[in-house]
């Protein structure tokens, strides 16, 4: 069978986001707790798939009050919707490499199709002989599409928080151990 399962190595991966603040600056953050798997079909990469689950409460912008606000009902509502998910629907290739993964992103119980632009960074073996793969994927979403509508008008015009959120996934994954029955 050509399909192999790869588990995201969270010690060597990151899920980051950036959003405009006060129109002139950007706020950057990460999610510290997540898990995911890639099902890669080496014979036909277009048949591959990805699933990622992110713990909403793990949002971290290095500002405790802002993080608490992001976890609240104004934004992620982490108590009611503890998990953000991405489940791929299709994979697009160019030159034999994955260049785009289209799938369903669910935030606050709202699911929208998004396209991740993918940079296939290749494969390598670590010093212990374990095979690793790496990808970087980016997308831009409109947070209003997912019910993240809180904002504050600024005295000089504009709003406190931008509509668009840039998301970057820096993923290193390790091949899952083969089952004993296989």
What pLDDT is recorded for position 70? 87
What pLDDT is recorded for position 46? 87
For 104-130, b where at least 16 C-beta lie within 10 A, e where not — what string? ebbbbeeeeebebebebeeeeeeeeee
What pLDDT is recorded for position 147? 79
What pLDDT is recorded for position 168? 95
What pLDDT is recorded for position 161? 62
Instruction: Tell me, yes or no, if the pTM score tops 0.85.
Output: yes
Among all chains, which residue has been given the structure tokens 């993080």? 67
Domain boundaries, the chain: 3-175
What pLDDT is recorded for position 180? 39
117 neighbors 98 (Cβ within 8 angstroms): no
What pLDDT is recorded for position 176? 82
59 neighbors 76 (Cβ within 8 angstroms): yes
- Which one of 3.90.1150.10, 3.30.365.10, 2.40.128.110, 3.50.50.60 gives the CATH number of domain 3-175? 2.40.128.110
What pLDDT is recorded for position 146? 86
What pLDDT is recorded for position 159? 44
Mean pLDDT per block of 10 residues along the chain (182 residues) reads 86 90 77 94 88 96 90 90 96 88 95 95 86 94 79 51 84 74 38
Any idea what DSSP says for residue 13?
Answer: -
- Terminal CA-CA length for the chain: 10
CA distances from 104 to 25, 47, 51, 147 (A): 29, 16, 10, 15
């Amino acid at each position: 069978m050509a399909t192999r399962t790869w588990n995201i190595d969270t010690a060597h991966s990151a899920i980051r986001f950036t959003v405009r603040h006060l129109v002139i600056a950007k706020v950057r953050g990460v999610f510290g707790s997540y898990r995911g798997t890639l099902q890669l079909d080496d014979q036909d990469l277009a048949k591959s798939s990805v699933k990622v689950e992110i713990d909403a409460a793990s949002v971290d912008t290095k500002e405790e009050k802002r993080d608490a606000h992001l976890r609240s009902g104004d934004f992620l509502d982490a108590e009611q919707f503890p998990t953000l998910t991405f489940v791929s629907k299709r994979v697009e290739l160019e030159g034999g490499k994955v260049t785009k993964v289209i799938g369903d992103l669910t935030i606050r119980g709202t699911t929208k199709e998004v396209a991740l632009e993918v940079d296939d960074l290749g494969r390598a073996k670590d010093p212990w002989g374990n095979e690793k793969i790496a990808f970087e994927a980016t997308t831009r979403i409109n947070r209003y599409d997912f019910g993240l509508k809180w904002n504050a008008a600024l005295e000089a015009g504009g709003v406190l928080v931008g509509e668009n959120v840039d998301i970057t996934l820096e993923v290193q994954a390790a091949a899952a151990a083969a089952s004993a029955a296989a």
